[in-house]
Structure 1
Amino acid sequence: MAIFKGAGVAIVTPMYDNGEVNYDKLGELLEEQIAGGTDAIIICGTTGESSTLTHEEHLDVIRYAIDRVAKRIPVIAGTGSNCTQTAIYLSQEAEKAGADALLLVTPYYNKATQKGLKLHYTRIAQAVSLPIILYNVPSRTGCNLLPETIADLVTDVENIVGVKEATGNISQVAKLMSLVGDKVELYSGNDDQIVPIMSLGGCGVISVLSNVAPRQTHDIVAAYLAGDVEKSCRLQLQAIDLIGALFCEVNPIPVKTALNLMGKGAGPLRGPLCEMEEANAERLKKAMKAYGIL
């Protein structure tokens, strides 16, 4: 059984103006996501600015989300690192806190070989009992987890069960599913490719768009799962301009800006991320208005 089917939100980490984590706002956002039909919470991923959280903050945010969600929907903790031992530590602590699953990004900067990636993920998986979703986003990490490597991992390691696929390369996704489609839970990591990836056997999306449009993102996946591909495609295409605006600068700059425009109080970004360029912010506002969320 899949960890979840549907739209999981890669949720932001709200901040106060002084840069500290705003747990009150995080609680509000979590409640709004659940009320909006979101199928899972992915906490401390890229969108949650995990790379600029201290280890203590990282784990505190995970623990807070788990406690606040209280098993109403799955909470998947982002515990990846470019250090295998650090990823093991974060993963073990998330398991102790009650996470339902782990999301493990490929090691960034190190540029590990495929052999090294297998060893990295196997060692983490052996240190915990939770199901694991691999996260492949080479545009950010400089490291591509190849289909053959994923196939070996999901075949050989019992609790490696899924992949968040954000290469943008549909041919690579098709290759993966041809190798091991019956053994892997496939999630789109790109909001503009939900329908294409589901057509190859995907079971949902881990979404940035869900931060600002939880019900609409849920409905894209729900329609597809219900067999209404035409509706799913229509909803996907209606969101394309907004999705483009949400990625016109590096994530999570635009989505935090969007939440602030909506009065959600997501707060500032941590350096080295900075506020949006004025022209891009205007593009985002226009797209949000056209989509009916501003």
Structure 2
Amino acid sequence: MTAFPFPGLNLAITTPFDDAGRIDYGRLEVNVEHYLAAGIDSFLFSSGTGMHVYLSKQESEELVRRGAKIVNGRAKVIAQASALLVEDVVERTARARDAGAEGVMVLPPFFEGPTDDQGILDFYAEVAKAGLPVIGYNVPQAVGVAITPELLDKLNDIPGFSAVKDSSGDLGKQAALIRTGRFVMNGADPLVPYALYAGCDGLIWGGANFAPKTCVALVAAAAQRKWDEVRALWKILEPAMGLIWEGDYVQSVYAAAELIGYGAGAPRKPLRALAPEKLPALRHSLETLMEREAI
């Protein structure tokens, strides 16, 4: 088996917006530089945390292009290329490739798309022809399609299919994917240390937007199998990582990043900034992190 191209922490970076709801590329550059200084060595642009579903096709492509230009070879770049039409996914993937991305993350067909294995296999085979490593995205609670161990085995017969990102939030089911021996990435923030211990190959982590230094340190400790250190760092991270997963995930990540100093403005409509009554609990969960993460 070839080496996994996206090990460790891949930051699902927030997309900054100005007061008018436009992408703020100046703030994006500032944040990327701060994340690089914190030790982030791989970025996922136009992620779910980065509000992919509320970006136009042109905005998403421009975000990836500019993001890759800012990174300028100092870290890996992944792009989300999910769309309803397979032709759009292929085009987005090709544009990401031409912009300098080294991989794409793609949801299986959703919104009344095929749910049978062959339909999903045909879809990913078409996407893989665009020439970038493809990360399948398993989030059945959102799209109604689950990538099972059996399907993952079949997907890996597709040249160019690289891994599955599992955001189901079910550690048992993620462990079953890991047991296939295929490349699996954890995408559920509250499962991070458990997924690493279970043997996941990498992380796509939205919560790392507000705690990059601590998240980088935890992943490094896990790579060295220093599980006591992992446990100590997770004790600091868990209050916030658990809280944001309970609901209003994107809004909570944006609010937490703002509180700590990695501000990206407010989420774009139709989402709104985190409700004021929820801020005290979020701020309390970040108390120890604020000192560690000071820029």
Q: TM-score, normalising length from structure 1?
A: 0.93
Q: Could you say which residue in structure 1 is the equivalent of 2:12?
A: 10
Give unpaired runs (5+ residues) of structure 2: none
User: Is the 8 Å Cα contact of residues 5 and 39 (structure 1) preserved in structure 2?
Assistant: no
Q: Could you say which residue in structure 2 is the equivalent of 1:254?
A: 252
Once the two structures are superposed, residues 116-153 of structure 1 have per-residue CA deviations (whole angstroms, 9 ceiling, x without a partner) of 21111111012x22111111112222221222111111
- CA, structure 1 residues 233+108, in 2 after alignment: closer, same or farther (shift >3 Å)? farther
* TM alignment of 1:58-77, pairs within 5 A: 58-77=60-79
Whole-angstrom CA distance in 1 between matches of 2:165 and 2:126: 19
Identity %: 26
Q: CA deviation at 1:111?
A: 4.7
Partner secondary structure for residue 204 of structure 2: strand
Q: Could you say which residue in structure 2 is the equivalent of 1:162?
A: 163
Partner secondary structure for residue 239 of structure 1: helix
Q: 2:37 aligns with which of 32, 35, 38?
A: 35
Aligned: 1:206 with 2:207: no
Q: 1:272 aligns with which of 267, 270, 273?
A: 270
- Letter of the 1:46 partner, please give it: G
Q: CA deviation at 1:273?
A: 1.0
Whole-angstrom CA distance in 1 between matches of 2:76 and 2:40: 10
Partner secondary structure for residue 249 of structure 2: coil
Whole-angstrom CA distance in 2 between matches of 1:63 and 1:267: 21
Q: TM-score, normalising length from structure 2?
A: 0.93
Q: Provide the alpha-carbon RMSD of the alignment.
A: 1.6
User: Is the 8 Å Cα contact of residues 194 and 204 (structure 1) preserved in structure 2?
Assistant: no
User: Is the 8 Å Cα contact of residues 42 and 78 (structure 2) preserved in structure 1?
Assistant: yes
User: Is the 8 Å Cα contact of residues 165 and 188 (structure 1) preserved in structure 2?
Assistant: yes
User: Is the 8 Å Cα contact of residues 82 and 106 (structure 1) preserved in structure 2?
Assistant: no
Give unpaired runs (5+ residues) of structure 1: none
Aligned: 1:148 with 2:150: yes
- Letter of the 1:253 partner, please give it: Q
User: Is the 8 Å Cα contact of residues 178 and 200 (structure 2) preserved in structure 1?
Assistant: no
Once the two structures are superposed, residues 97-125 of structure 1 have per-residue CA deviations (whole angstroms, 9 ceiling, x without a partner) of 11111111233322531322111111101
- Letter of the 2:118 partner, please give it: K
User: Is the 8 Å Cα contact of residues 10 and 42 (structure 2) preserved in structure 1?
Assistant: yes
User: Is the 8 Å Cα contact of residues 191 and 205 (structure 1) preserved in structure 2?
Assistant: no
Q: CA deviation at 1:234?
A: 2.6
Aligned: 1:90 with 2:88: no
Q: Could you say which residue in structure 2 is the equivalent of 1:115?
A: 118
Q: Could you say which residue in structure 2 is the equivalent of 1:282?
A: 280
